[in-house]
Every structure is written in structure tokens, then in C-alpha cells.
Structure 1
Amino acid sequence: MNSTDVAKAAIKVAITSSRATEEQIIEALYKHGVKAVAVDIGGDLIDSIPKIIERAIVASRRTGIIKECHVHDGAVAGAAREAIMQVSTKATGLNVGGKIGIARHKEHISVCIFMSIGLLHLNEVVIGIGHRSIPEVKD
């Protein structure tokens, strides 16, 4: 499994429409050696950036995707920030709602942000993805 496959896994988890589907995909990925998690996000994008990064790190630690160390925290934060920057041009100053999907296989970790941007009755949909390479977590 390479970095492209891990990115696809993060996208699959981020675009799920229900918790049941999300859990099924996470289980299926785990059978292939991929650890994954998803976290809901929302609010004004600029005000939410620190909270989005924090939620990505906490969820990754809680599910064993990363260890609690500054190298792993930094990798998740960097990948999340990269994904945020990809969607920020469309979402700056607007309310957003969506999900972060995080997937890891061996040294590859990807963070995907999938969100809807609200503007009156019109909604724009955006997706951003970031990748980092970090040392493997030994179980």
C-alpha cells in the first residue's frame, strides 16, 4: 500500500454520510492494515483552524493512529494544515460543516477535509488533502 492508497482511504472515511457507514469503512480498512478515524467539524473556517488541527491530533492519538509525541503530533498537524489551506480560498469568512478523515498505513499518514460551505441557500463543496511520512507505530 502506497501514499496514494492511504490518501484514498482518508477520503473514503471523510465523505461518509453516516456513522454506520463510517464504522464499516474503518473496519474494512483495518483488515487491510490501515488505521482510520473521522471527526466532524464546523463553524467559521478561520476561527475553527486551531480546533480542527486539535481534533485531528486528539482523534489520531485516541485511536492509536499516532503515538503521543511531538513528531507524530506535528505530522498530523502539518497534514491537517495543508488540507485546510487547500480549502481556505473558497471558505474564508464563511460557515463550513463537514468531516476530517485520517488514515495511516505504516509510514504514510493522510488527512482529508471534506466540507460544505454555506452561503445563503447555495452550498459549495470542497475537499483538501495533506500527507506526511512518519516512523511506523509498533503495536
Structure 2
Amino acid sequence: MSNETSTKVAKLATRMAISSRDEEDILKDKYSKLGAKVTAVNIGGNITESIHKILESALVASKRNGLIREEHLHEGAVIGATRDALMQVCNRANGQNVGGKIGVARMGEHVSVCIFLSIGLLHLDEVVIGIGHRSLPL
């Protein structure tokens, strides 16, 4: 596995984060054929109050869909990548209501988490995206 793989996994996580519910199963099958495991989960609410829920959602979805095992290193990788992605979006969304999606992808030792959010500002919607990456043992 190379740097090329980490870039590919980041793209897969991003694609999952921007997908519709209808596209998710199609993408899971498509990426499975490439040797990748992916998942996505919808999120929403006040970003500041939702951080714990976002971390938990990424972790539960990753376990439920077989991206990681239930062990310390695997869980820590997903939580760390999710926290990195959150740090990138929190400045823009601080205190605001958001709606969006978390996309998670794993290929080999690479795992990426992408958070795609729409931030409600009166009649304007701001869009923000953040991504995190970790390596973990096979």
C-alpha cells in the first residue's frame, strides 16, 4: 500500500459523505470490488452540542459495517480521524445548526473520515467539508 492508497481512500470517504441515501448501497458494492469498505451516516443539530454524537456515529457505523474491529487501535484510528475532520469544520460551523453526513472508507491499513455539512444561516446555506486520515494495523 502506498501514498496513492491513502489518497484513494480519502476520495472514497468524500464520495460517501456527499452521496444520497439511494447511492450508498450502490457505492458500497462498487467500492467492495476495489477492495475497500465504506459506510456513511447522516448527522445534524448544533455542531457544538453534537461533537460526542458525531464521534460515536462514525465509530458505530465503522464497526457495524466491518471497516474496523472492536479493539483499541482500530477504534482510536476512527475517533482520531473523525476528530481531525471535526476540527476542520468546527470553526466555520461553531454554534450553528448543521445537517450533513459522515463518510468513512478503509482500504488495507488506511482509513479516512470525511464530514460534509450544510450550515444554516438564515436563508443562506454555507457548505463545509473536513477530512481526517489514520493508518492502522491489518
TM-score by length of 1: 0.95
State how far apart, in whole Å, the 2-side matches of 1:97 and 1:76 are. 21
**Equivalent position SS for 1:68:** coil
- Give the superposition deviation at 1:39: 0.3
CA positional deviation for 1:22: 1.6
Query: Corresponding residue for 2:30?
Result: 28
* TM-superposed deviation, 1:21: 1.0
Letter in 2 for 1:55: S
Report SS of the residue matched to 1:93. Answer: coil
| Aligned residue runs from structure 1 range 14-25, under 5 A | 14-16=17-19, 18-25=20-27
- Between the aligned partners of 1:108 and 1:64, the Cα distance in structure 2 is 14
Q: Does 1:76 align with 2:78?
A: yes
Shift of 1:19: 1.5
Runs (4+) off by over 2 Å: none
Equivalent residue pairs, number: 135
Kindly state the Cα deviation for residue 49 of structure 1 after the two structures are TM-superposed: 0.4
Deviation (angstroms), 1:27: 1.0
Q: Could you tell me which residue of structure 1 aligns to residue 39 of structure 2?
A: 37
Residue type matched to 2:58 in 1? A
Aligned-residue sequence identity (percent) comes to 59
| 1:15 maps to amino acid | I
Residue by residue over 1:63-91, the C-alpha shift from the partner in whole angstroms, topping out at 9 and shown as x without a partner, is 11000011111100000000000011110
Cα distance, 1:23 vs. partner? 1.3
1:10 aligns with 2:13: yes
Amino acid in the other structure paired with 1:77? I
Q: Give the alignment's Cα RMSD to 1 decimal.
A: 0.7
Aligned to 2:61: 59
Distance across 2 between alignment mates of 1:43 and 1:90 = 14
Cα distance in 1 for residues equivalent to 2:69 and 2:109: 13
- Unpaired runs of at least 5, structure 1: none
